[in-house]
Amino acid sequence: MKDQSHGPFSGFTPECLTFLHNLAANNSKAWFEAHRHEYEEHLLEPLKALAVELAGFMLSIDHDLVTAPGRAVSRIYRDTRFSRDKSPYKTTMWITFKRQVMEWRDAPCWFLEITADSYRYGMGFYSASKETMDRLREVIERKPAQFRQAVAFLGEQDTFVLEGERYRRAFRPDLPEDLQCWHQRKNLYLVCNRQPDKSLFTRGLADDLRSGFGMLASF
């Protein structure tokens, strides 16, 4: 059921990007409070509306995903307790569809992230444990033909690319490069990187996300 407390998603506005740009230059409580209405109107409410718009589709992919906008949309406040950077606010906002807290690090997450000059969306592991990545490596080693078949769709499209931090040294230097680029990852995600475009400012963004996430669902 859709959350009726938020209006229908109709796209972001250029003011959303302007707000993030200005926040990066004026990252203080006084400035933020003076511009809170801009944050709520141009960033927070559209993010919540988009989360509601996508909720049913995401649950059709994985019924264990948390889709409530209050959980899926990131908070703008930074946790500065253990950081040298004491800037109180994030200059990047995102939607993340993930499983319950105890499970999410070792299950794929689906995301949309917006900055002042770009946005991206995709699916992958934000902070997978080595045990999870070791299981992936085992599949690659034991069933290379099946793994190649599972990722063959990447070569047939130009929306998503493979990213994620890699170990400096390969675990299996003998593996061919097409397998090595997966096997050597500390974490991985498939992502579409975009500059602000027409899609970002219309409800067509929701259609792009459904199409893209649907492309990744079987993998």
Which stretches of the chain are DSSP H helices?
14-25, 29-34, 36-39, 45-61, 69-72, 130-142, 144-150, 177-183, 204-217
- Could you give the number of structural domains in the chain? 1
**pLDDT tens digits for range 6-57:** 679 999 999 999 999 999 999 999 999 999 999 999 999 999 999 999 999 9
**pLDDT tens over the chain, length 219 residues:** 344 456 799 999 999 999 999 999 999 999 999 999 999 999 999 999 999 999 999 999 999 999 999 999 999 999 888 888 899 999 999 999 998 866 666 788 999 999 999 999 999 987 788 899 999 999 999 999 999 999 999 999 999 999 999 999 999 999 999 999 999 999 999 999 999 999 999 999 999 999 999 999 988
- pTM score over 0.95: no
Assigned domain for 76 exists: yes
In a domain? residue 17 = yes
In a domain, 180, yes or no: no
CB atoms within 10 A of CB 192: 19
| DSSP-derived 3-state class of residue 29 | helix
Report if residue 1 sits inside a domain.
yes
Host domain of residue 97:
1-116
Residue 94 domain-assigned (yes or no): yes
Residue corresponding to tokens 């130009």: 158
Examine residue 2 and state whether it is found in any structural domain, yes or no: yes
Residue 75 lies in a domain: yes
Question: Domain for residue 69, yes or no?
Answer: yes
Q: How far apart are CA 146 and CA 151, in angstroms?
A: 9
